Amino acid sequence: MPQNVYIYNTKQMIMSTVEMRDKVHQMIDEVDNTLLEAIHAMLETYQKREEDDPIVSYDLVTGTPRSASELTAILEEEVAAVRRGDFTTFEDFQKESAQWGQRTK
């Protein structure tokens, strides 16, 4: 069952995604053929892009979806950083974290 996500502006809640889907369905039923063809083409393009480069993860901080190509680029950069020696060893992490609980003067 899809989550009920809400679209907000700064003053009020506008509508839930369920309400938005219902409204879009109603609007599509009422548009002329030219606009219907344009909407259809746009949705097919969107769907094709999703098939070619699907969403595979979400940013833990912002919740922003990440596509396969974006995640691949991020991971390639992380691997390159390790190869450059740009990382913290477990031993260094232990030393650093041991100081977190100590009081500073």
Q: Residues 56, 64: contact at Cβ < 8 Å?
A: no
Q: 6 or 81: whose pLDDT is higher?
A: 81
pTM (global) more than 0.85: no
Q: Do 26 and 68 share a domain, yes or no?
A: no
pLDDT more than 70, % of the chain: 84
Tell me what pLDDT residue 50 has. Answer: 80
Domain that holds residue 87: 56-105
Q: Do 100 and 66 share a domain, yes or no?
A: yes
What is the H or E stretch that residue 93 is in?
A: helix 90-98
Joined tokens for residue 23: 């409204």
Largest Cα separation within the chain, whole Å, is: 74
Q: Do 62 and 47 share a domain, yes or no?
A: no
